[in-house]
Chain A
Amino acid sequence: MNTLDDDLRFEQACDWLLRLREESTSSASSELVMEWLEWCREDPANGRAFERAREIWMLTDGIESAAAPAAAMPAAPPDRACAEASVGWRKKSSRWLALAAAAAVAAIALMAAPEWRRLYFTPASAEIYATEAGQSRVVRLPDGSTVALAGGSRLLTALDGRSRALLLDRGQAYFEVARDPSRPFVVTAGGMRVTAVGTAFDVRTSNSGMVVSVAEGIVDIDDPAGADPHSAVTARLPERITLRAQAGQKVALNRSEPPQVTPIDPATAASWQDGRLIFIREPLSAVLDSITRHTGRRLVIADPAVGELRYTGTVFQSQLQDWLRGLPTVFQVRVEDHADEVVIASATGNP
């Protein structure tokens, strides 16, 4: 039974909802939003009232049939085409589109109504894990997933009752994902978004993009943000397109080339954990960068053209010195071994 107080609070929550919607986004005055946040925080009951108001707001997304009783409540199961149509529908659409969209909207409203109790009682967890170059660590996340974080990496995790979002800010990590279809496991890296449900895969960022290797199951890779002027490290995919990769595939994405899909042995997706770094047609700059992270040995490129050379092969961390010695036999480069770093320069340029 609701008290008078609850009723009043709910009305206030509805009023906030209308005001937030009115707020023109082009001139978004953040004061109103901040005022609203204060209100939500004043009393937990306020926050719950707003949550309830927006839950009901979402549920009313499919009510057109109420205004036109002749049209039966659409009972079509939600499918992808419907979901896509519904989000695109605005008031200027033609009548038939509106009708089709109303059906779709009803379908998506059914899918989207929040289970607010679960949301309330699952505490959000957000953590940052970082490693120095040359070290690595294994992290067990609250959802049961495991992450092996390579050297020189940083991972930001944000898990709550309804989603699992991770940001691989730099470096490389191998993910073994605990199955939970209601909470997609989403890793953002190098400007790309990798979505998995119950699978194992490796993500490596580089200075020009990112590489995903799938050991088990399937992952979807898409481009969440569109062009982002703030980011120096952003790979690109055509907008609103998702690339699906499965076990035994390696997908390389960078700014300047179309996506490259290469078959791999699924067992090698996590090979860096055994000290083996495997590269397939990758720029030498990305290769050296990766070795630096894993081993802590600073490898520096003196000439940008050298960084563009393509390398295919396996680097054993325990035999790095041999690999460096062999490099001039493969490429036109010379290797200068200094105390604190190794410089790789073009052999054809000025000495």
Chain B
Amino acid sequence: MWTEVALKPLDASKPEPSDCAATETQDRASLLARLFREHNRELVGFLCTRLRSEQDAREVAQEAYVRLLRLDQPGAVSFLRAYLFKTAANLATDRLRHRSTCRNAEPKLTLWEEPAEESTPEQLAMRREEAQLVTESLKELPERHRQAFTLYRVHDLSIGEVAARLGVTDRMVRNYIVKVMTHCRERLDARGARREDRE
């Protein structure tokens, strides 16, 4: 449930602008804490649809919160929520663009290193197994479905481009993609159920 709370705008004519700014930032920090509590899962989910990994999505989400905290003129909560998602979407676009053009960084000093990601061997094994199952599931579907999904997912074509390539309507392409996703889900669920039976 969202209530509209207007934030105190910064007013340069006030005699103590620093105190005013502090109060204002405090309010915004509370709002951000609330936004995080209520929306972080959705925000990361949203970013995952655009980015290549959940790690990326989480980083971009954090970045978006920080941007919000630095806004000069924030408005009502509903604005902040919309702005959070919009900022995050823009940052995601920037990240994809940046990564695709500047991949070959200059030689680095030994002092500088890329951050490492950690995952347990069990998690990795499980994900590998799931990805394998998804790949197999795809092979069980009709050629048309596979083509549509591969063009969209792997070759990064838009729905419209896939439709033109296959000579079908946009609507059909959507149906194909949803069908593939549904099939993968059924296979993963079935395996999950088998695994629970064993335990």
Contacts and interface: CB of A to CB of B under 8 A. Distances in A.
Interface residues of A, number: 104
Contacts of A282: none
Nearest to B59: A224
Interface in B133-159: 134-136, 138-139, 146-147, 149-150, 153-159
A88 B69 contact: no
The CB with the most chain A CB atoms within 10 A, among B65, B139, B154, is that of B154
B135 A63 contact: yes
Contact of B113 (A25, A73, A244): A244
Interface in B74-113: 81-83, 85-86, 89-90, 92-96, 98-100, 102-103, 105, 108, 111-113
Nearest to A30: B82
A261 B70 CA distance: 28
A105 B67 CA distance: 29
The CB with the most chain B CB atoms within 10 A, among A53, A56, A80, A93, is that of A56
Contacts of B15: none
Contact of A7 (B29, B42, B182): B182
B12 interface: no
B197 interface: no
A57 B181 contact: yes
B85 to A, nearest CB: 5
A173 interface: no
Interface string A89-118: 111010000000010011011111111000
B118 interface: yes
B20 interface: no
Contacts of A60: 134, 138, 149, 153, 180-181, 184
A50 B45 contact: yes
B3 interface: no
A36 B39 CA distance: 12
B124 A73 contact: no
Contacts of A115: 123
A163 B30 CA distance: 19
Contacts of A283: none
A135 to B, nearest CB: 15
Contact of A59 (B98, B105, B177, B184): B184
Interface of A: 2, 7, 10-11, 14-15, 17-18, 20-23, 25-26, 28, 30, 33-34, 36-37, 40, 47, 50-54, 56-67, 69, 73, 75, 77-78, 80, 83-91, 93, 102, 105-106, 108-115, 119, 124-128, 130, 154, 156, 158, 160, 162-163, 165, 167, 169, 181-182, 186, 188, 193, 195, 197, 220, 222, 224-226, 228, 230-231, 239-244, 261
Given A57-B48, A63-B135, 15 more contacts: A10-B182, A20-B49, A30-B82, A54-B49, A58-B53, A60-B153, A61-B52, A66-B136, A67-B138, A67-B147, A86-B52, A167-B66, A169-B69, A186-B62, A228-B67
